[in-house]
Amino acid sequence: MSEYEGKVRMVFKDLPLPIHALARPAHEAARCAGAQGRYWDYHARLFAEQPRFEREDLVRYAVDLGIDRDRFVACLDGRHFAAAVQADVEQARALGITSTPTFLINGRVLIGAHPVENFRIVIGDALRRLQGP
């Protein structure tokens, strides 16, 4: 959606689902990668490799990206970002969000994986609303 370049900011919020036993460590691992400046690369790797999220997998993904292994492992095993991930979970709960993915586009909700065209409609509407009458 290059037509929206400069007009859209994207924020990712962690919502590991309880039915996915290995999900929470994966979310924490992504933040550990982010602590070394590689969040989005690691994020993409996790989606590509799902559901292979055993500890050795998570470490391997970091090493493959050139992330400092010792720092990453200390972060992951020390659960440095456990509270931050839990904060996202609680914020989702406060909003009544239980499904993934759920998108809030200037407050409007899209639940589930929608075609790109649906996003264009909602984003376009949001931009028009901001322009006013």
Partner 1 sequence: MNVRWSSGPGRVYYILLMLLALLPDARARGQVTLTAHRAMVRGPEGAPVTIVQFSDYQ
Q: At its nearest, how many Å lie between partner 1 and the CB of residue 41?
A: 11
Select from 71, 108, 114, 120 the one that contacts partner 1 (CB under 8 A).
108
Position 91 contacts partner 1 (CB under 8 A): yes
Nearer to partner 1, 31 or 76 (CB): 31
Within 48-77, the residues that bind partner 1 by CB under 8 A are 50-51, 53
100-114 CB burial, b ≥16 within 10 A, e <16: bebbeeeeeeeeeee
Give the contacts of 76 (CB within 8 A, at least 6 positions apart): 25, 28, 29, 32, 55, 58, 59
Position 133 contacts partner 1 (CB under 8 A): no
